[in-house]
Amino acid sequence: MMRGFACLLALCVPLAHCGCLDKDDHPVSTLSELRNRTKEELDAIYLKGCIDDDFLLGPAYGEVIYSVLPSLAGDLYRELFGLAWEGSFMQKTRCKGEDFYFFFSLMNPLDGAKLAQSQITFFPAKAYIGRLPDEKAQLDDCEAYIYDYSISKTDCPDEVSLLGRQKYPFDNPPPMNMLIDESKIVGVDKDNRPVQLNRVFVKVLPGVLVPLQYEGLLGNPL
C-alpha cells in the first residue's frame, strides 16, 4: 500500500520503482522525439523519466542526440560518432557470487562505409542503480541506471580469461575510463520498445563531473 501511495505521489522510492514500463504518461513515445532538442528540453524530459528494478537486457540501437560542442561542431561530432557507435548491449552475469551487469558499447567502425554488417561489444561499464557521484550534476534526488566505465578486472575476476575475452574484455583506456552515464526510461514506442535517455559525463576530478553528451537508446520489444 505504501509503495502504491508513493507511486501516486511520484516520489523517489529506492528499489521500488513503480512499474516504470507500464506507465501511460511517458514524456515521449518515439526515439525521434528526442532529436533536435535543447539541453533544457532534454533535461525536462529526463526529469519525467523513470526506472524499473530490473535492467533492460540485450541490445539497444543508439544515437547521440545532443553534444555540448557548438552547433556545427556538435553536428559533425554526432555524424562521426555515429559511424562507429551503434548502441549498447546489457548483459547479466555472476561476479563474486552476486548478480553483476555489464553495459557494453556496440561498435562497428566499418559500418559508416557500409563495408561490414557485424558488431562487436567494446568498452564495458559496470551497471547499477544509484546516483551520480557529483551532486551538482544530478537533476533530482531520484535513482537512475548508472553506467560506470572506470570498471576494473577486480570488479569481476570471474570473467577474466588468460586465453582471450570472455564476458569481460579489458580495463578501459583513458579517456573511456573517465566516463559515467546516468539513464532513465522516457518512453515506450508503438512496437513496445523502451526508449532510454542517457546523460553522459566525464570525471575530471574525484566527485566532479562535466557533461559531455546525451544519447538515445531504443531497446528490443518488451
Domain boundaries, the chain: 2-219
Exposure letters 60-72 (e unless 16+ CB within 10 A, then b):
bebbbbbbeeeee
pLDDT band of residue 160 (cuts 50, 70, 90) is low
Over residues 78-107, the mean pLDDT reads: 85
Q: Is the pLDDT of residue 104 over 50?
A: yes
Whole-model pTM: value is 0.85
